[in-house]
Structure 1
């Protein structure tokens, strides 16, 4: 049996003297799962994602991802962890407008020390797999639709073959047709073995993509359902 890809034990995060953003949370995510994290604003969804991404540290508790203890890492070690172990997809794409599509996808691979030829081969493979044509590689993000830009963002997130893909409201800035494209893409990636953690307000997205759904309320797991979304 493989080890869990995420283990959070007794994790709390406090930003001030008020109620903690996360309160003694325990969570285990297995390799190959697609976990959707639902909950109202202020429930702790973004805090959970930031802790798993190494963008923030817990006030208490332990966070282990892909066999690596990350809660006490230095900033430099956290940056290497994000580069080597995880991919991140954001609501507003976070593409660099002055770089071509290809160069946006290449950037993490080049920062990781991958040769340009190898990185270009990987980028071309991903863009093709994600339904983008060769001429799109030479385009700039501003020339693409929202759905196409999010596909580029997913390619960039996958270029270093991360153990874990994190998606923060990945359809939140898209029209319904583009959102449906990205939803299908995320489901296909998970079906192909990619472990996914998805933070969203969109129950339909969770229904389409997730093999498991948790609902956070006041910094804790209120419900945990495998094979479907929590009842609303």
Structure 2
């Protein structure tokens, strides 16, 4: 496995208006195959960190590199291309298109990237089968349970084989049974070698799905701890 980081943030800061920094001199390294949970209360900087990694926002200071791409230097069009190629994103509220079938929702990122429709749908069928929801390929999202819709969202996020999967409170809108389904799916993806960054306030979810937790407090990284109980990682390992 390559030791080149999938994510490398160096002294990143982001401030909005005249308030305190949403993120303050944060440095973070995530290597291939790691599953990392970003924890912290509301307003701690979790969403800002996620948006910077995904190229949805830019830092005021510092650098953001994802899979060898300097994300902080990209324009709007470049950032969109970067996300299609490098990042799969799963959100709390699914963001599926209700007027498209499950298969069409999953295939859409590949088609937007220029993949022919037939090839995109073959890949979508493979993913839906892998995730155990291929029987719903012709259904519409509104007919599915929350857990099923989140599986569709995960399939869509994996469509272009991104090196990085970002999950933003992926169980936040689900009941406990559906939430456990999604938690198990994230564990399986990590076991297969997918690099995952999970943003959550749920410590139990973080412990069950990841092997490392990073805690944010007031925009600063307060701790960076391996799940093995080995204690905080040294700054040189971050």
Q: TM-score, normalised by structure 1?
A: 0.97
Residue 17 of structure 1: aligned partner: 18
What is the deviation of 1:111?
0.5
Q: Which ranges in structure 2 are unaligned for 5 or more consecutive residues?
A: 233-238
Does the 8 Å contact 1:95/1:104 carry over to 2? yes
Does the 8 Å contact 2:39/2:199 carry over to 1? yes
Q: 1:228 to 1:175 in 2, by over 3 A?
A: farther
Give distance in 1, aligned partners of 2:47 and 2:103. 29
Residue 160 of structure 1: aligned partner: 160
Does the 8 Å contact 1:54/1:71 carry over to 2? yes
Residue 150 of structure 1: aligned partner: 150
Structure 2 residue matching 1:71: 3-state secondary structure: helix
Give distance in 2, aligned partners of 1:123 and 1:103. 8
Does the 8 Å contact 1:186/1:209 carry over to 2? yes
Residue 216 of structure 1: aligned partner: 216
Per-residue CA deviations over 1:165-202 (Å, capped at 9, x if unaligned) read: 00000000000000000000001001001000000011
Residue 201 of structure 1: aligned partner: 201
What is the deviation of 1:17?
1.7
Equivalences, count: 230
Q: TM-score, normalised by structure 2?
A: 0.94
Per-residue CA deviations over 1:46-74 (Å, capped at 9, x if unaligned) read: 00000000000001100000000010210
Residue 84 of structure 1: aligned partner: 85
Correspondence 1:61-80 to 2 at 5 A: 61-80=62-81
Q: 1:18 to 1:206 in 2, by over 3 A?
A: same
Per-residue CA deviations over 1:127-169 (Å, capped at 9, x if unaligned) read: 01111133x0000000000000000000000000001000000
Correspondence 1:107-118 to 2 at 5 A: 107-118=108-119
